[in-house]
Amino acid sequence: EGNMIPSLVTLDSSIPFLREGYSFISSRCDKLGTDAFRTRIAGRQVICMRGAEAAALLYTSGQFTRQGALPPNTLRLLQDKGSVQMLDDGHHRHRKAMFMDLMSEDSVSRLKDIFEGAWLDRAQEWQEPVILHDEVRLILTRAACQWAGVPVSDRGAETLARELSRMIDKAASLGPGNWWAQLRRNRTEKWATELVERIRSGTVKTPAGCPASQIAGHRDVDGDLLTAKVAAVELINLLRPTVAVGRFIVFAALALAEYPRWRSKIVSSGPDELEAFAQEVRRFYPFFPAVGGVAREEAVWRDNRLPAGTWVLFDLYGTNRDGRVWADPHAFTPDRFRNQEITPHALVPQGAGDAGSTHRCPGERITLELVKAAALLLSTTDCHVPVQDLGISLRRIPALPGSGFVLMPRAPLR
Ligand code: HEM
């Protein structure tokens, strides 16, 4: 009975979750001496879980679906019906293979080159203090569009950057902010749907084999084209999270400001140091707090039967800081990645398991390469970081330093 899943005394955890944010699950697990507990969120029974074993259950067992696993408002902003995340089994693997194809080494390095060019272009305009988060989102939007083969004007890129950012900013909020973002999402979707239709009809010419035309031309398991709407959702599924990498880039800038020896270290040391730095940024800083899953059949957690329909929330943030896996988990220590093997269920900022066959994020290489490129650019740029609110509130999902990270270019930039 030592493995029984305890229940919280509180009837409903919606308010405590919103109030505490990232540490909600792990602080309760710590207090109860458990890796799983039962509670209610929005009136619905849920089991909150953390740790590598829970990661394996939610991702690798194949017993959990994402259908019905997120509050509907969040779903509309982040994924949507018909998207890869909502598929299971053969349909999922087939669609996922399309995403994995877009993440080849060549494709990722092309994106990285475009991103560096877009950064240097924009940085020439930095004459006075800038908010890095705003700048980098615009740079990433331009780069993602060029990489994907999506034509946008300068003005269009600014609007799109704002729309994609809002979907991320407001995903965890309720009320007017979320409604506003929903409205914008509808506009973005309409734009993307028209784009897919025009690519298909040939009225928009895209470079052969570019991600946008691959998505527009993708056929499902039965050999049918995706509806234009679903193809549009998947195109947004490529652009939105690429722009979201801007949060990790701001965290990388913060890490470089707080641990300045890493600036010279990544400039003068080899690629392993840079990779370790980017991995630690992903492990250490808060981004996705948790992911949900619903059991499709009876599943077993230690000695507990979880009947079909059981709703589970898996704690990404707490798992990345699990002291059983990570020594001194609350310290920023990139060197840990030079000595420790990364297993598929322990480092989970972007999900767990094998990307091709589970819901693990297909965009981890993109994320790592963009964070690395930005860290190098930041370390070689002479910029001053003025006094500002660099604090990160764990109550605000998604998290960011209060100021958005203000940078002041010091020397005229090339
Ligand atoms: C899935 C996080 C970047 C595309 C996921 C999941 C997480 C995640 C936690 C798993 C969701 C689940 O288990 O249900 C992140 C974070 C990123 C990031 C924190 C950093 C910015 C990207 C990038 C792309 C991308 C750059 C594509 C260019 C996707 C897609 C899925 C996904 C399509 C659904 C996969 C599936 O259901 O099989 N992401 N991601 N993400 N991500 Fe990312």
78 pocket-lining for ligand 1 (C-beta < 6 Å): no
Q: Would you call 147 helix, strand, or coil by DSSP? A: helix
Predicted confidence at residue 414, as pLDDT, reads 47
- Ligand 1, atom 37, lies closest to the CA of 85
For the stretch 372-403, pLDDT in tens is 999 999 999 888 899 999 999 998 888 999 99
User: Does the C-beta of 96 come closer than 6 Å to ligand 1?
Assistant: yes
- Continuous segment of H or E residues that includes residue 130: strand 130-131
Task: State in Å: Cα 242 to ligand 1 middle.
Answer: 9
Q: How far is CA 30 from the centre of its chain?
A: 26
| Beta carbons of 144 and 243 less than 8 angstroms apart | yes
Tell whether ligand 1 has an atom less than 6 A from the beta carbon of residue 349: yes
350, 367, 368: residue to mutate for ligand 1 pocket, most atoms within 8 A of CB: 350
pLDDT band at 1, cuts 50/70/90?
A: very low
Is residue 81's pLDDT more than 90?
no
∠ CA 187-209-353, rounded to 5°:
75
Using a 10 angstrom Cβ sphere, with 0-12 exposed, 13-18 middle and 19 or more buried, the burial of residue 194 is: middle
- Please provide the CATH number assigned to the domain covering 14-409: 1.10.630.10
ipTM above 0.90, yes or no: yes
Quickly state the pLDDT bin for 239 (edges 50, 70, 90): very high
> Would the CB of 246 count as within 6 Å of ligand 1?
no
> Mean of the pLDDT values across residues 46-51?
97
Position 131 scores a pLDDT of 96
- Residue 130 CB partners (closer than 8 Å, separation 6+): 406, 407, 408, 409
Distance 372 CA to ligand 1 centre (A): 18
Bond into 207 cis (ω within 30): no
The residue to mutate among 95, 103, 294, 361, having the most atoms of ligand 1 within 8 angstroms of its beta carbon, is 361
User: How far, in Å, from the CA of 374 to the mean position of ligand 1?
Assistant: 20
Closest-lying ligand 1 atom to the alpha carbon of residue 245: 21
363 lines ligand 1 (CB under 6 A): yes
Specify the ligand 1 atom closest to the Cα of 92.
38
Mean pLDDT for the chain?
Answer: 91
Q: Taking 60 as the threshold, does the pLDDT of residue 177 lie above it?
A: no
Residue 226 region, left (φ>0) first, then alpha (ψ -120 to 50), else beta?
Answer: beta
Measured in angstroms, how far is the CA atom of residue 238 from the centroid of ligand 1? Answer: 9
* Cα 397 to middle of ligand 1, angstroms: 16
Atom 43 of ligand 1 has which residue's CA nearest to it?
361
User: Is residue 364 within 8 Å of 241, Cβ to Cβ?
Assistant: no
pLDDT at res. 216? 97
Q: Take atom 32 of ligand 1 and give the residue whose Cα is closest.
A: 361
What are the tens digits of pLDDT across the range 114-132?
999 999 999 999 989 999 9
Check pocket membership of 133 for ligand 1, CB cut-off 6 A. no
pLDDT of 12 over the 60 cut: yes
